[in-house]
């Protein structure tokens, strides 16, 4: 397999090293034998479905929730927003939008890393990947140039009305929030998996959240919050992609969330070849054909 060079200029060397230090858990160097095993898996496959998780976004400076010592749960008492709380409570929506407004600038400027470009290469240059199924909401696969992406848990870059379903660009909503809250500083050094940050309660109390420009309804980022379900049309699309593939490659996911693990269950049932690259154990380790405990950025760019 001929290696294709990806545009690493989007992630500077110093910045990249800092991100690894902060958000990537401890790991051993990848072995040459492991590189060869994954290369053989990719070479022998004709139509790969790729499933990616937060473990690839950590290398772009976005923390995950569960990693030992460096994940958000390990570093703070923060709990992610719950779907029903957001739907039922105007107070919860105000708090979420205030935090998200402050965190958006840094979150939205995060850039793809070599793993995203390698996945792009497998799709557009090697014609090995039929579709990328991502559990991430950070838009980084699109930024890297991948074409066929299913955002399993939605995207932070789109906002929807809970009443009339009108859709907005998150960039537009940021401009609206800036006009509604001229005294609020929209910058932070913090970043979280869904883009919100911690801010003082007094700043939340006076914050004006956005409303739909068509019907005045409450707005929500087009993200599957904890406690919500992945829409059926998206589940069906993923099922079709997996069925039409001959292999499944999982990158940077512990598969703790059932929406991801059921993709494994389908692939096992349909007797697909399955490879997993992830630091630490995953929920599927005992049922896959190949498991490599490594940082995705240590191994995938050496192949593609």
Tell me how far apart the alpha carbons of residues 250 and 56 are, in angstroms, rounded to a whole number.
11
pLDDT reported for residue 192: 66
Tell me how far CA of residue 148 lies from CA of 124, 134, 168, in angstroms.
10, 11, 22
Tell me how far apart the alpha carbons of residues 114 and 99 are, in angstroms, rounded to a whole number.
29
pTM passes above 0.85: yes
Rounded (10°) angle between helices 90-108 and 170-180: 120
Q: Is 212 annotated as a binding residue?
A: yes
Beta pairing, strands 154-161 & 167-169? antiparallel
pLDDT reported for residue 24: 79
Q: Is 215 annotated as a binding residue?
A: yes
Contacts of 28 (CB under 8 A, 6+ apart): 293, 294
pLDDT grade for 15, boundaries at 50, 70 and 90: low
Tell me how far apart the alpha carbons of residues 95 and 112 are, in angstroms, rounded to a whole number.
29
Q: Is 164 annotated as a binding residue?
A: yes
- Residue 284 vs residue 12, higher pLDDT: 284
Catalytic residue among 83, 141, 153, 172: 153
Average pLDDT of every residue of the chain? 88
pLDDT reported for residue 6: 37
pLDDT reported for residue 234: 98
Task: Please determine, looking at this structure, whether the domain spanning 11-302 carries the CATH number 3.30.70.100.
Answer: no
- Residue 112 vs residue 5, higher pLDDT: 112
- pLDDT(12) > 80: no
- pLDDT(296) > 70: yes
Q: Is 304 annotated as a binding residue?
A: no
- Residue 58 vs residue 11, higher pLDDT: 58
Beta bridge pairs of residue 290: 275
The mean pLDDT of 188-200, rounded to a whole number, is 68
- pLDDT(70) > 90: no
153 carries an active-site annotation: yes
Give the range among 16-20, 87-91, 92-96, 193-197 with minimum mean pLDDT: 16-20
Domain locations in the chain as residue ranges: 11-302
């Amino acid at each position: 397999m001929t290696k294709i060079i990806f545009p690493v200029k989007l992630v500077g060397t110093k910045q990249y090293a800092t991100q690894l230090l902060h958000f990537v858990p401890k790991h051993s160097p990848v072995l040459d034998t492991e590189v060869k095993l994954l290369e053989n898996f990719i070479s022998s496959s004709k139509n790969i479905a790729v499933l990616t998780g937060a473990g690839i976004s950590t290398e772009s400076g976005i923390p995950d929730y569960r990693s030992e010592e460096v994940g958000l749960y390990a570093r703070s008492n923060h709990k992610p927003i719950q779907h029903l709380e957001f739907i039922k409570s105007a107070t919860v929506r105000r708090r979420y939008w205030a935090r998200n407004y402050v965190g958006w600038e840094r979150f939205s400027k995060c850039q793809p890393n070599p793993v995203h470009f390698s996945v792009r290469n497998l799709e557009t240059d090697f014609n090995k990947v039929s579709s990328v199924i991502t559990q991430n909401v950070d838009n980084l696969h699109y930024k890297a140039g991948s074409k066929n992406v299913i955002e399993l848990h939605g995207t932070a870059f789109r906002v929807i009305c809970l009443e009339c379903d009108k859709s907005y660009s998150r960039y537009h909503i940021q401009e609206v929030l800036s006009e509604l809250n001229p005294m609020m500083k929209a910058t932070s050094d913090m970043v979280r998996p869904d883009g919100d940050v911690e801010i003082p309660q007094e700043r939340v109390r006076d914050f004006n959240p956005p409303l739909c420009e068509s019907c005045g309804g409450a707005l929500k980022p087009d993200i599957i919050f904890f406690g919500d379900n992945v829409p059926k049309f998206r589940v069906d699309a993923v099922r079709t992609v997996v069925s039409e593939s001959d292999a499944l490659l999982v990158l940077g996911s512990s598969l703790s969330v059932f929406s991801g693990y059921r993709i494994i269950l389908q692939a096992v049932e349909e007797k697909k070849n399955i490879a997993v690259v992830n630091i630490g154990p995953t929920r599927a380790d005992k049922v896959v054909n190949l498991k490599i405990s490594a940082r995705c950025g240590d191994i995938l760019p050496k192949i593609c």
